[in-house]
Structure 1
Amino acid sequence: MTRAVFLDRDGTLNPLVYYADTQEYESPRTAQALILLPDILPALQLLAVNGYQLFLVSNQPSYAKGKTSLGNLEGVHRKLVDQLTAADVQLTEAYYCYHHPKGVIPAYTMVCDCRKPAIGSLLKAQDSFSINLKESWMIGDQVSDVSCGQNAGCRTILLDYAPSTNKRNITPELQPDARHDSLLEAANWLIQQS
């Protein structure tokens, strides 16, 4: 069986974007708004060269909430993949959840098994790519990332990305295995644990 690193996207690989219409930091709604955080490419390269398959697992409810189009969200993903590919970084698979229980687009307004902290996407990866979840990691900037990883049996790392910290309620039973300030710091620490 193969080991993997499951990565959140927004606040982990790229910064959140402040939108005046909601007065909140959110996921990029267009490709033009996507930029990578510093040291993301070396961090992903380090994980890959040390034998981890890389998976993206991201909640993207902006379409369900009527804030952007699916085409725009697909454009954000294409730009991300293009930037990673240019640096010889390959994602094994990307799992996006476009649903939200309080959406305004009926077909995407639901409770589903792919929206973190649900583990549907990790189970798909396990089945499709023979992933050993107990030897794998979930890395993200939200409590939902930690909860998802723990619910699937993975070890977890919480990134202390400033715009995300005000949304957290970390309970004693929901402690990550580690906390780091950046993905590169987390990757270096993770490799030392192997």
Structure 2
Amino acid sequence: MRKAIFIDKDGTLVRNVPWNVDPEYIQLEPYAGEALRLLQNGGYVLVVVTNQGGVAKGYFPESALSAVIRKVDALLAEQGVQLDGFFYCPHDLEGVVSGYAITCSCRKPAPGMMIRAAEELHISLEGSWMLGDILNDVEAGNRSGCRSILVDNGNETEWDLSPLRKPEFIAGNMLEAAEYIINCSGKNRSYGAHISDTDQRFY
């Protein structure tokens, strides 16, 4: 079984441009390429897991995501990084497009995308990590059995807290998260132990 890094797309891997599917506006977040190269060299497979509720809301067709995936692949290739999987959820219960405006098991904070990726790519969830910029990502990772890191770049604004939404570590950027994961390799799981005691959001 392989170990994986599950990566949220918008706001974590690439700059968050709301509802964007135009490849011209897709840019990697700072340190993303360096961070994923470090993790790839550390033996992790790299898998994007992203909510794309714009499909359900009628903002763009599902077919538009093919160009997005190609652009992300191209940007990462320039950094010497290759994704092993790209999973997206096109659903949103508040959407308007028939067939997509449904309750599903894949839209984060549900863990469906990670579970599906684990089955298809022979991944050990217990040995894997979830990286995301909001607590829905953290919850999805924790619910799947991964260890979760919050990349706290200002995109989480609600701070709706529960034990499942508590990250093991809070990183300031992707590279800090990657370095933490590499340093943790082979160590015992210790959920929440590395959150600063001064961070009152989690107490």
Q: Which runs of 5+ in 2 are unaligned?
A: 186-203
Larger displacement relative to structure 2 (29-38 or 41-50): 29-38
Q: Distance in 1 between matches of 2:158 and 2:12?
A: 15
Summarize deviations over 1:126-165 as a string: whole Å, max 9, x none.
2122211111101101111111111111100001122x12
Larger displacement relative to structure 2 (116-125 or 53-62): 116-125
Compared CA separation, residues 172 and 148, structure 1 to 2 (3 A): closer
Aligned twin of 2:44: 52
Aligned pair 1:177/2:177, yes or no?
no
Kindly state the Cα deviation for residue 172 of structure 1 after the two structures are TM-superposed. 4.8
| Alignment match of 2:71 (pick from 61, 72, 79) | 79
Aligned twin of 2:25: 33
Contact 1:31 1:73 in 2 (8 A): no
Q: Distance in 2 between matches of 1:6 and 1:192?
A: 18
Larger displacement relative to structure 2 (95-104 or 119-128): 119-128
Aligned twin of 2:193: none
Aligned twin of 2:104: 112
Contact 2:19 2:59 in 1 (8 A): no
Q: Distance in 2 between matches of 1:94 and 1:46?
A: 19
Kindly state the Cα deviation for residue 71 of structure 1 after the two structures are TM-superposed. 3.5
Q: TM-score, normalised by structure 1?
A: 0.90
Q: TM-score, normalised by structure 2?
A: 0.86
- Higher RCO, 1 vs 2 (CA within 8 Å, ≥6 residues apart): 1
User: Considering only aligned residues, what root-mean-square deviation do their CA atoms show, in Å?
Assistant: 1.4
Compared CA separation, residues 90 and 170, structure 1 to 2 (3 A): same
Contact 2:23 2:68 in 1 (8 A): yes
Kindly state the Cα deviation for residue 87 of structure 1 after the two structures are TM-superposed. 2.4
Aligned twin of 2:15: 15
Q: What is the letter of the counterpart of residue 132 of structure 1?
A: S
Q: What is the letter of the counterpart of residue 181 of structure 2?
A: L
Q: Distance in 2 between matches of 1:76 and 1:173?
A: 31
Contact 1:156 1:178 in 2 (8 A): yes
| Alignment match of 2:139 (pick from 147, 169, 173) | 147
Compared CA separation, residues 188 and 67, structure 1 to 2 (3 A): same
**Residues matched between the structures, number:** 185
Q: Distance in 2 between matches of 1:120 and 1:171?
A: 20
Q: Distance in 2 between matches of 1:173 and 1:153?
A: 11
Q: Which runs of 5+ in 1 are unaligned?
A: 18-25
